[in-house]
């Protein structure tokens, strides 16, 4: 029912050597934050992920391949990013359902109290 996606928070070029091709020009790290969208709402959640890619050798670099220098730079970059705060935005269809449900509950209460009679 929900469609979760990621949007880019920050992209940074790294001057570290690539563990695959040993070039120090093509390494890039991308931080992304997750948001969920479905028929009723849009929500940004606190879940973030990162991906590292070398554009010189066109390879994804996974955490198992990181050197100590890369780990230090990644830790620094993680402290530097500011994720967007959690948020929830209800869509118009949700507001329609809330209004209809409120009206039905109000009518039932008024009938139960005897204010409205048929």
What residue segments make up the domains of the chain, in order of their start?
Answer: 3-91
pLDDT (0 to 100) of residue 1: 52
| Average confidence (pLDDT) over 1-24 | 85
In this structure, the number of other CB atoms found within 10 A of the CB of residue 30 comes to 15
Its pTM stands at 0.75
The closest alpha carbon to 83, from 2, 26, 8, belongs to 8
What are 16-45's pLDDT values in tens digits? Answer: 888 888 888 889 999 999 999 988 999 999
Residue 2 has pLDDT above 70, yes or no: no
Task: Please say whether the beta carbons of 62 and 19 come within 8 A.
Answer: no
Say if residue 79's pLDDT is above 70. Answer: yes
């Amino acid at each position: 029912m929900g469609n979760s996606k990621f949007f880019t928070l920050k992209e940074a070029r790294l001057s570290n050597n690539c563990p695959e091709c040993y070039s120090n020009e093509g390494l890039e790290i991308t931080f992304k934050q997750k948001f969920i969208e479905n028929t009723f709402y849009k929500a940004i959640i606190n879940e973030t992920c990162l991906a590292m890619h070398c554009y010189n050798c066109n390879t994804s670099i996974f955490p198992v391949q990181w050197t100590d220098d890369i780990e230090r730079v990644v830790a620094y970059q993680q402290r530097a990013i500011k994720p967007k705060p959690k948020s929830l935005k209800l869509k118009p269809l949700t507001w329609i359902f809330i209004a209809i449900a409120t009206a039905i509950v109000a009518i039932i209460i008024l009938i139960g109290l005897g204010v409205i009679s048929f």
